[in-house]
Amino acid sequence: MSSFRFQILARDPHSLARAGILHTPHGPIPTPAFLPVGTQATVKGCPPEMLKSLGVSVVMSNAYHLALRPGVEAVKALGGLHALAGWDGPMMTDSGGFQVFSLAHRRKLDLDGVDFRSHLDGSLLRFTPESLMALQAGLGADLIMPLDVCSAGGADRATAEGEMRLTLAWAARAIAAERRGDQLLYGIVQGAAHPDLRVASAQATRALGFQAYAIGGLSVGESKAATLAALDAAVVELPDEAPRHLLGVGHPEDFVTGVLRGMDSFDCVMPTRVARTGGALTWGGRVNMRNAVHAQDPAPLDAHCACPTCRRFSRGAIRHFLKAGEMLGAILLTVHNLHFMLRLMDDLRQAILDGRLSEVREQLAERLGGGLHADLIRRAPPVLAG
């Protein structure tokens, strides 16, 4: 881990939350951190300069999608993933494990790897643990993931255990494969919504000697209570000194509950995907900006928000752009939604550094709608085993 160092700056005495910095070859990542997802090496509707101005420190892309288009040889010819993306900060690539789940009708698993039928043209693409390491070496992201199987949220125990065992076998091969020295490989914990499998997976993944860890296969159909139970079971088995990433989980309340459980980074397509359908994230919940009620509203989307969208555009203007099919409508909502999520994460980080997380936690429990979300935020996380 010579190119990487994880520094913990502060801890919350009442939970597992911590604030730190993950030092990488392309710059520091203040944690806890939110990673906007740029699946195809671009965050839809938000150019790199805007990402920087919003405070983004690291971007997530997807190895499966980039392998299909433009292909690893094209990425290398263009100078690598950072050059392709026009992004000089840290980058992470996901392994394609979620595609093993989401494209189940287009893939075939075996002990050696997985075959995909491209969703673009039906062509065959095969991943093995070793080929995925070579693919991500060619792409050149700073933070990388091994091949894994993301089980469905409702997977029965036998299915989840078989897929968890396959993930562990692939993880052992990935960590033994030839890799670049300037990439940090995360071990991925699986086990669906079965806490005992999460414990077994975390223990076995830790035993393989990874220097960073990710928890995958959550928020894929199970209840939020089941998500937290699985997370609680896994996190106490992971080494305290290593960075921890929560894959594909990123609703506002999930940030709070995840940070309280010692998660250091999160990625999710939700803020940008919601924006493209006309949705705005607010403290009062999601707002559909296509609704007619906004047509002549001169007020900003959120009077208390300092993002460029809320400083310069009215609700009525945003609705007009959306209804007229103008790209600007989705772009404005993308900027706002990313700002909303990034500020939430910044508030959590600063509260940990200032020793005020208990106070901020209670405020967020009320601001995020009360009810079930408030109960989950108030639920005490487990004590770290060490």
Question: Hey, which residues are catalytic here?
Answer: 94, 267
Measured in whole angstroms, how far is the alpha carbon of residue 38 from the centre of its chain? 11
Q: Which two tokens stand for residue 102?
A: 């989401």
Report the candidate in 173, 185, 189, 257 with the shortest Cα–Cα distance to residue 223: 257
Report the candidate in 353, 328, 339 with the shortest Cα–Cα distance to residue 32: 353
Burial of 324 (0-12, 13-18, 19+ CB in 10 A): exposed
SS (H, E, C) the chain: CCCCEEEEEEECCCCCCEEEEEEECCEEEEECEEEEECCCCCCCCCCHHHHHHHCCCCEEEEHHHHHHCCCHHHHHHCCCHHHHHCCCCCEEEECCHHHHHHCHHHEEECCCCEEEECCCCCCEEEECHHHHHHHHHHHCCCEECCCCCCCCCCCCHHHHHHHHHHHHHHHHHHHHCCCCCCCEEEEEECCCCCHHHHHHHHHHHHHCCCCEEEECCCCCCCCHHHHHHHHHHHHCCCCCCCCEEECCCCCHHHHHHHHHCCCCEEEECHHHHHHHCCEEEECCEEEECCCHHHCCCCCECCCCCCCHHHHHCEHHHHHHHHHCCCHHHHHHHHHHHHHHHHHHHHHHHHHHHHCCHHHHHHHHHHHCCCHHHHHHHHCCCCCCCC
Q: Which two tokens stand for residue 244?
A: 């921890």
